[in-house]
Amino acid sequence: MTDNEKINPPISIQTLKRLPLYLGYLKSLDKDEIKIISSPIIAKALNLNEVQVRKDLASIKSGGRPKTGYLLEKLIISLEEYLGYGNMNEAVLVGVGCLGCSLLKYNGFENYGMKILVGFDVDESVIGTEINGKRIFPISKLKDLCQRLHINIGIITVTGESAQEVCDLLLEAGIQAIWNFTSIQLNVPDGIIVQNENIASSLAVLSKHLKKKSKVRK
Partner DNA sequence: TAGATTGTTAATCGATTAACAATC
Pairwise CA distance, residues 170 & 174, whole Å: 7
Instruction: Name every residue whose Cβ is closer than 8 Å to that of residue 64 and which is 6 or more positions away in sequence.
Output: 39, 54, 57, 58, 70, 75
- For 71, the 3-state DSSP assignment is strand
Residue 77, binding choice from DNA, its own copies, none, Cβ under 5 to 8 Å by partner class: none
Q: Is 126 annotated as a binding residue?
A: no
- x/- string (CB under 7 A) for DNA, residues 23-62? ---------------xxx-------xxxxx-xx-xx---x
Q: What is the DSSP letter of 88?
A: P
Count CA atoms closer than 13 A to 161's CA, side-chain side.
0
102 binds its own copies (CB under 8 A): yes
Q: Is 113 annotated as a binding residue?
A: no
Instruction: Name every residue whose Cβ is closer than 8 Å to that of residue 50 and which is 6 or more positions away in sequence.
Output: 39, 40, 42, 43, 44
List interacting residues with DNA (CB under 7 A): 12-15, 38-40, 48-52, 54-55, 57-58, 62-70
Binding residues for NAD(+): 95-100
List interacting residues with its own copies (CB under 8 A): 10, 13, 16-21, 23-25, 28, 45-47, 83-84, 89, 98-99, 101-102, 105-106, 108-109, 112-114, 152-153, 160, 176-177, 179, 183-185, 187, 191, 193, 195, 197-213
